[in-house]
Structure 1
Amino acid sequence: MLASFCRQRSLHLAQYATRQIIPSRTFVASPVLEYAKHKNKSKIRIPSKKSLAAKVKRRAALQTKEMEKQERLTLADAINVLRAVEVASPNATYELQIRTVVGSGMAIPKGRVNLPREPKAKPEDIILVFAEGRLADEAKKAGAHIVGGLELVEQVASGRSLASTILCTPALIRGITPKLGRVLGPRGMMPSERRGTVTEDIAGYIARLRGTREWKGDRKGTIRTAIGKLNFPVEDVIKNVRHFLLSVKKVTGTEKDATTKGPKGETKTVVPITKVVLSSTQGPGIQLSDF
């Protein structure tokens, strides 16, 4: 019996010795595997400023081509289309958009107009005049709201003045320019002889302001203005549009029968008008073919 047990024990030991033991293997990140991962990983390209600018330019060119393909209508037809679109909104407003090409260093178009029929009440101009002595008295009698000399410079420079129009006499323009040139220049409010806001005829200038409102373009030279109401007769809207376009053409020098010579014989810079669009509150923008 003991011999049998010993044989069985020997057999078990032999089987255990011949058994194949497969050791467990743990996978760890090796430099080779890490290199392979980074090599196969897709790289994210960050576009340069130059390529982004070129992309924006291409998109703008495509958008311009698409807009040029749009059908253009005469002013009368455009009004009729917008009236049909806004049939449920008789108090909607017509808006006129005029696009001009303002080159580098060119002044933004700006002027005043008195429409035959205003679409809304005109805001009152707050007039500030730099004048002294007799001219200051004339400015007060003409209706100027704020009149004074160089003591008003700090008030204007600090923004405490709410004036919408600023006039100045020739005697004081050199005194206000150093401090107000950088403040009023970018806003288009700095008095200048070219615009007629530096003058001794203060009373006459204020008289011409009565009954008119100012229009001016944005930085890109686009002029926007309310031009009428949907409940206006079509003839009134047409008169307003023609009157406003004439005012813009005189300022930009694009009026066909207008001279392009300045007051001193200098050639006047012409600002081309590229597009005129009429729209309404809820209606589409319609390009005009007869401007």
Structure 2
Amino acid sequence: MYSFGLLETKAYDQAEKVAMEGLALAPEDAWSVHSVAHVYEMRAEVEKGLKFMESREKDWQKSDMLASHNYWHWALYFIEKEQYEAALDIFDSQIFRRCKATGSMLDTVDACSLLSRLEMEGVCVKDRWRELLQVTQPHTDDHVTLFNDFHFLMASLGAKESATSRRLLEGLQELAKEPGVNQQHQMANTVGIPVCQAMVEYDHGNYSRAVELLYPLRYNIVKIGGSDAQRDIFNQLLIHAAVKSENEHHKKLGRCLLVERDAVRPGSPLTTRLMQRAMALH
């Protein structure tokens, strides 16, 4: 856990060192594996990440809490490399299977996030959204965390279940009227509702409106919780919306965001692809 704290404050070298020391003492420690997976992702060291996860799989795959999440990290490396079938195979054989079996929120949001990332890459995920909706739909009215709500909305939008998407957003709007002492509900007006609206607008092809809603919140998304890696899906959503927008200012913004992303994660194949797409569109 110390290693995880280090990596979330961007002390990646120290985080890797501490996690490796932990693995030397306890090779089956899924938390240490998890930290190293984060480090390699944030530094865009894709090949190292793939080799590391494969070499350690037998040690962490039986972890009750983190096995599915570590498989999610593994799948992110495959997305970076455009090996989409490998990522889908992990979704089918590990993440969604475990999600259905456990009902774990971590497993569920990982499943939603992975399908969304694949779709942004242009991958057809077929009927997987409809299947995943069976897991997320019963939680539409929970509103425990905004982080969860955003992921449930990914599922209802992906499954084209507009009534469920509308119910989730309307429920959040009602809670925002009298949030009380609930910190998550207090953020509904300033973060939760506009992010949900941005996701809906993007899904409807209204990319300019999605940028207008999402861009002012890019430094506030951190308040919803989750890791840098988990919240990166919203960075990607903003970039995709900006690049696809018909607004020239948004297109320039998209290119600026990509330059920034490349500086933070130099050598990322995904960033390189996005840059190429942005240039091809302009």
| TM category, shorter | under 0.3
TM-score (norm 1): 0.26
Give the strand-richer structure, 1 or 2. Answer: 1
Q: Which has the larger radius of gyration?
A: 1
**Higher RCO (CA-CA < 8 Å; seq separation 6+):** 1
TM-score (norm 2): 0.27
